[in-house]
């Protein structure tokens, strides 16, 4: 059974720091992995989606990497800003085909302090 | 392109009352999902529609929750009667289809508080 773990559960950093959020999964047979951002009590914003054949994806100050063999993904945020404060969730699509449910981590709550 | 729309954004009700949430997916998206996200947890899939048919409702508490997508576009999720443990954010998402290759797009969510 696929399980997704995110460490740390919470992180507080000063503005300007580069930081890394971690996501690990127990079954390497995934189709893709997605990172989301969620502001308190709000919906989910998709940040990056990495296909199983890819090693990384970049968008602005965000870079997500994927190492299927070790069951890990990292989200790197460069030059963090207070506006980056939010909860970051990763979700794994367990395989190809139809109607495969996303398997979610519990998220990392990030606070970037001015 | 307009995103997934949900209403209301916030709702406060007393236990044993009923409540309904509405979702309008992205135009042309055949698959629609309702998730429940309790504070501090990841989203839990309640129900998945393909057009107007139910694909997966295995985690929907059917004694109190119901959902429909009659014309294969908009959807409503209802809770009757509500319990305290139903307090959560209810997320609607849509995708072009059910394939793993299709990305899910999420709405802003409805935050429900049951007192």
Give pLDDT tens digits for B15-71.
999 999 999 999 999 999 999 999 889 999 999 999 999 999 999 999 999 999 988
Q: How many Å lie between the alpha carbon of A106 and the closest alpha carbon of chain B?
A: 5
Contact residues on chain A for B48, CB-CB shorter than 8 A: 99
Average pLDDT, chain B: 94
Answer yes or no: do B42 and A96 touch at CB < 8 A. Answer: no
- For chain A, the maximum distance between any two Cα atoms, rounded to a whole number of angstroms, is 45
Q: In a structure prediction context, what are the per-residue pLDDT tens digits for chain A, which is 114 residues long?
A: 899 999 999 999 999 999 999 999 999 999 999 999 999 878 899 999 999 999 999 999 999 999 999 999 999 999 999 999 999 999 999 877 777 889 999 999 999 999
Taking CA atoms, what residue in B is nearest to A51?
B101
Structure tokens at B16: 């044993």
**pLDDT interval class at B102 (50, 70, 90):** confident
Q: Helix-strand-coil percent breakdown of chain B, rounded to 5?
A: 5, 50, 50
Beta bridge partners of A92: A33, A103
User: Does residue A60 sit at the B interface (CB-CB below 8 Å)?
Assistant: no
């Amino acid at each position: 059974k696929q399980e997704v773990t995110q460490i740390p559960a919470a992180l507080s950093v000063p503005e300007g720091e580069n930081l890394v959020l971690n996501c690990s999964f127990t079954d390497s047979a995934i189709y893709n992995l997605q990172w989301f951002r969620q502001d308190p009590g709000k919906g989910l914003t998709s940040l990056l989606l990495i296909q199983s054949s890819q090693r990384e994806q970049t968008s602005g100050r965000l870079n997500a990497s994927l190492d299927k063999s070790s069951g890990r993904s990292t989200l790197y945020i460069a030059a963090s800003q207070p506006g980056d404060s939010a909860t970051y969730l990763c979700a794994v699509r367990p395989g190809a085909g139809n109607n495969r449910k996303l398997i979610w981590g519990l998220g990392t709550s990030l606070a970037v302090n001015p | 392109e307009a995103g997934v729309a949900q209403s209301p954004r916030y709702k406060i009700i007393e236990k044993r009352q009923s409540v309904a949430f509405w979702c309008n997916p992205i135009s042309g998206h055949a698959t629609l999902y309702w998730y429940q996200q309790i504070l501090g947890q990841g989203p839990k899939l309640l129900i998945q529609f393909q057009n107007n048919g139910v694909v997966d409702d295995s985690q929907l508490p059917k004694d109190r929750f119901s959902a429909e997508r009659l014309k294969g576009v908009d959807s409503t999720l209802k809770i009757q009667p509500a319990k305290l443990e139903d307090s959560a954010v209810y997320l609607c998402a849509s995708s072009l289809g059910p394939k793993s290759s299709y990305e899910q797009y999420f709405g802003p969510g409805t935050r429900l508080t049951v007192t």
